[in-house]
């Protein structure tokens, strides 16, 4: 039975959205990033409301199975962009192909997508739409051999606490390896980013014999599951930006999130929450993905997202990322000396760290409208996409075009 709190949240959501609509013509959007963007302002409120919804009641939103959402929802809405080999077909009991390259060979890259949603929300259509946009904007030679698999992991809201999802990823990853795949990539946003990062620690600590991912793409990764009290003080991203971000300190520091996410699982484990463990660079130096030539890492954080400090701290200890001393309010002006860091040394992994000016949490939810443009104009290329409006997509596509095989 749905709780009274959930009923209240549902009843008040239309009012919250109406307030945004009424204020927009006079005051603009809900934050600096979307001051002139009504659609994404409404989406911020909607995403925030979903994240703050009682965890045990969130299954009421799971009205459409993931397979149906992909095939009947996305497939019918974008018939031209989903006419792909094996689109919507199951690989195993917990994953679906968005595209599997024809006559896939062992060295052909396979990206496993790990969706965000706090581990308690299903993959959303917006995330799949953004993922398909990235695929269609790749250079033709890169796209031809590229495959994308969506892991439909079990949710904490349905009785599967962390690290159950890690076990599912290990299972699917193992199946791909046993099937001959040699070039595996992971992409995760928010909770999916946590899953990607903790998977590398699982491989390091358990000596499974499985190969490390050749590349990892992290969008607003949730590297620290539970914030500490000091982070809710001036000068810290949780304190400075919670009011206007999707992620808010009060919610993520709550007992409900802690217990709902972990159950009886210990928090301070590298395979659960690296950011809640004392950082030591030695814990990461033996992971090929982050250190070895031929491997690569992409990281994206929003300048005004609550997770920013946690993401950049993790990047510092794992990727030797030099956190900019002048990082703050850019006013929306992109400065590559502050917002872009690339490490391209012959003796180490390729690293690409990005900070979106004024950006908020998890752009995979906010850049999905690009797929409609691609549906209507199949000739659109990455050079014709606005890098400010679609910051994540443009930078991820350029990263993949750099690291994927193909001329």
d(CA 63, CA 197): 30
Mean pLDDT of the region 36-56? 96
**pLDDT at 53 exceeding the cut of 90:** yes
> With contact defined as beta carbons under 8 Å apart, do 20 and 45 qualify?
yes
Question: Residues near 250 by Cβ (< 8 Å), separated by ≥ 6?
Answer: 242
CA torsion sign for 268, 274, 275, 279 is positive
| pLDDT of 223 higher than 90 | yes
d(CA 285, CA 292): 9
pLDDT of 326 reads 79
The arithmetic mean of pLDDT across residues 222-246, rounded, is 97
Give the gyration radius of the chain's Cα atoms: 20
Domain parsing of the chain, residue ranges: 1-61, 64-403
pLDDT at 61: 87
Strand order in the sheet with 215-219: 90-92, 95-99, 147-151, 110-114, 184-189, 215-219, 296-302, 350-356, 340-343
Q: For position 98, what pLDDT does the model report?
A: 99
Q: Is a pLDDT exceeding 90 seen at residue 95?
A: yes
Strand, coil or helix: what is 355?
strand
Using CB atoms within 10 A of its CB, is residue 88 exposed (0-12), middle (13-18) or buried (19+)? buried
First to last CA, the chain: 56
Tokens 């949240």 correspond to: 9
Long-range Cβ contact pairs of 233-239 (< 8 A, separation 24 or more): 236/309, 237/304, 237/305, 237/306, 237/307, 237/308, 237/309, 237/310, 238/306, 238/309
Which pLDDT band, with edges at 50, 70 and 90, does 254 fall under?
very high
- 308: tokens are 């920013």
Specify the pLDDT at position 63: 78
Position 131 scores a pLDDT of 98
Percent of the chain with pLDDT over 70: 100
Condensed to tens digits (0 to 9), the pLDDT of residues 155-214 reads 999 999 999 999 999 999 999 999 999 999 999 999 999 999 999 999 999 989 999 999
As a three-state string, the secondary structure of 189-236 is ECHHHHHHHHHHHHHHHHCCCCCCCCEEEEECCCCCCCCCHHHHCCCC
Task: Summarize pLDDT for 20-29 with one digit per residue, the tens.
Answer: 999 999 999 9
The pair of structure tokens assigned to 253 is 């520091």
Strands 95-99 and 147-151: antiparallel
Which residue, among 20, 144, 153, 162, has the nearest Cα to 401 in the 3D structure?
144
pLDDT value, residue 407 = 67
Classify domain 64-403 at the CATH class level: alpha beta
400: which DSSP letter?
A: H
Average of pLDDT values for 300-325?
97
25's tokens: 């013509």
Q: Of 58, 86, 61, 52, nearest to 71 (Cα)?
A: 86
| pLDDT average, residue stretch 97-105 | 97
CA distance 238 to 231: 6
Averaged over 84-92, what is the pLDDT? Answer: 98
| pLDDT confidence tier of residue 219, bands split at 50, 70 and 90 | very high
Tell me which residue of 47, 120, 137, 87 sits closest to 366, measured CA to CA.
47
| Average pLDDT of the chain, as a whole number | 96
Rounded to whole angstroms, how far apart are CA atoms 334 and 80?
Answer: 34
**Whether the Cβ atoms of residue 249 and residue 306 lie closer than 8 Å to each other:** yes
Instruction: Give me the mean pLDDT over the 345-350 stretch.
Output: 95
């Amino acid at each position: 039975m749905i709780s009274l709190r959930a009923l209240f949240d549902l009843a008040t959501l239309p009012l919250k959205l109406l307030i945004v609509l009424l204020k927009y013509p006079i005051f603009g959007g809900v934050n600096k990033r979307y001051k002139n963007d009504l659609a994404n302002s409404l989406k911020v409120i909607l995403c925030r409301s979903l994240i703050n919804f009682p965890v045990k009641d969130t299954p009421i939103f799971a009205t459409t199975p993931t397979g149906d959402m992909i095939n009947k929802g996305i497939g019918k809405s974008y018939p031209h962009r989903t006419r792909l080999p094996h689109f919507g077909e199951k690989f195993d009991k917990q994953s679906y192909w968005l595209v599997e390259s024809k006559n896939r060979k062992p060295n052909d890259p396979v990206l496993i997508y790990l969706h965000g949603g706090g581990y308690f929300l299903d993959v959303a259509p917006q995330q799949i739409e953004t993922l398909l946009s990235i695929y269609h904007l790749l250079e033709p030679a890169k796209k031809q051999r590229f495959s994308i698999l969506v892991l439909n992991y079990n949710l904490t809201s349905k009785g599967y606490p962390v690290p159950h999802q890690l076990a599912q990823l290990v299972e699917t990853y193992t199946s791909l390896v046993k099937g001959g795949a040699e070039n595996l990539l992971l992409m995760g946003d928010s909770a999916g980013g946590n899953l990607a990062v903790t998977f590398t620690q699982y491989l390091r600590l358990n000596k499974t014999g499985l190969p490390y991912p050749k590349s990892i793409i992290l969008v607003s990764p949730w590297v620290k599951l539970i914030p500490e009290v000091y982070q809710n003080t001036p000068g810290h991203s949780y304190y400075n930006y919670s009011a206007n971000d999707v992620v808010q300190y009060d919610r993520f520091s709550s007992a409900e999130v802690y217990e709902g996410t972990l159950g009886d699982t210990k928090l301070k484990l590298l395979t659960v929450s690296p950011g809640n463990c004392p950082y030591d660079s030695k814990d990461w130096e033996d992971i090929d993905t982050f250190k070895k030539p031929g491997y690569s890492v992409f990281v994206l954080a929003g300048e005004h997202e609550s997770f920013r400090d946690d993401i950049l701290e993790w990047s510092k200890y794992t990727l030797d990322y030099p956190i900019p001393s002048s990082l703050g309010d850019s006013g929306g002006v992109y400065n590559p000396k502050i917002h872009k860091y690339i490490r391209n040394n012959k003796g180490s992994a390729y690293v690409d760290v990005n900070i979106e000016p004024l950006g908020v949490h998890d752009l995979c939810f906010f850049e999905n409208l690009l797929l409609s443009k691609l549906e209507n104009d199949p000739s659109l290329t990455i050079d014709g996409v606005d890098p400010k409006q679609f910051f994540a997509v443009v930078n991820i596509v350029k990263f993949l075009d750099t690291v994927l095989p193909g001329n």
